[in-house]
Structure 1
Amino acid sequence: MNFAEAPDGTGLAWTSEGEGEPLLLIAGQATAMDGWGPTAELLSRFYRVIRFDHRGIGRSGRGDADRYTTRLLAEDAAAVLSAAGADNAHVYGHSMGGRVGQWLAIDHPETVRTLILAATSGGKWPDPATQPERAALEALVGGDMSRLEPLFFDADWVRRNPKATHAFFNSPASAWAKARHFRASRDHDAWSELGSIKAPTLILHGTDDRLTPLPNALLLRRHIPRSVLVRVAGGGHGLHLDHPETVDWIRQFIARTT
Structure 2
Amino acid sequence: MKKTFRRDGVDLAYRDVGAGLPVIFQHGLGGDEAQVADVFPDLPVTRRVTLECRGQGGSGYGPVDRLSIATFAEDIEALADDLAIGPAVVGGISMGAALALRLSVHKPARVRALVLARPAWVSKAAPANMRPYAVVGDLLMRHSPEHARRLFDESPVAAELARLAPDNLSSLQGFFNRPDPVLFGKLLVAIAGDGPGVSESDIRAIAVPTLVIGHDHDLVHRLGDAQALAGLIPSARLCTITAKSQDRAAYRREFRACLSEFLESLA
| TM-score (norm: length of structure 1) | 0.75
* DSSP 3-state at the match of 1:58: coil
Counterpart of 1:132, as a letter, is: N
Report Cα offsets for 1:32-54 as digits up to 9, x if no partner: 223334324x4454421112211
Pair 1:79–1:178, CA change in 2 (3 A): farther
Q: State whether structure 2 residue 152 is matched by structure 1 residue 151.
A: no
Percent identity of the aligned residues?
23
For 1:237 and 1:169, locate their aligned partners in 2 and report how far apart those are by CA, in whole Å: 24
For 1:206 and 1:63, locate their aligned partners in 2 and report how far apart those are by CA, in whole Å: 34
Pair 1:237–1:44, CA change in 2 (3 A): farther
For 2:246 and 2:74, locate their aligned partners in 1 and report how far apart those are by CA, in whole Å: 25
For 1:54 and 1:238, locate their aligned partners in 2 and report how far apart those are by CA, in whole Å: 28
For 2:37 and 2:42, locate their aligned partners in 1 and report how far apart those are by CA, in whole Å: 10
Q: What is aligned with 1:222? A: 231
Query: Could you say which structure has the greater relative contact order, defined with CA pairs below 8 angstroms and 6 or more residues apart?
Result: 1
> How many residues get paired?
243
| TM-score (norm: length of structure 2) | 0.73
Q: What is aligned with 2:199? A: 191
The answer to whether the 8 Å contact 1:32/1:168 transfers is no
Report Cα offsets for 1:155-198 as digits up to 9, x if no partner: 9xxxxxxxxxx999977664313432442243215233223323
Deviates more, 1:11-20 or 1:236-245: 236-245
For 2:46 and 2:185, locate their aligned partners in 1 and report how far apart those are by CA, in whole Å: 30
Q: After TM superposition, give the deviation of residue 59 of structure 1 in Å.
A: 2.1
Pair 1:88–1:168, CA change in 2 (3 A): farther
Q: State whether structure 2 residue 99 is matched by structure 1 residue 100.
A: yes
CA RMSD of the aligned region, Å?
A: 3.9
For 2:58 and 2:175, locate their aligned partners in 1 and report how far apart those are by CA, in whole Å: 15
Pair 1:138–1:61, CA change in 2 (3 A): closer
The answer to whether the 8 Å contact 2:208/2:235 transfers is no
Q: What is aligned with 2:129? A: 132
For 1:39 and 1:168, locate their aligned partners in 2 and report how far apart those are by CA, in whole Å: 21
For 2:36 and 2:265, locate their aligned partners in 1 and report how far apart those are by CA, in whole Å: 25
The answer to whether the 8 Å contact 2:52/2:58 transfers is yes
Q: What is aligned with 1:203? A: 212
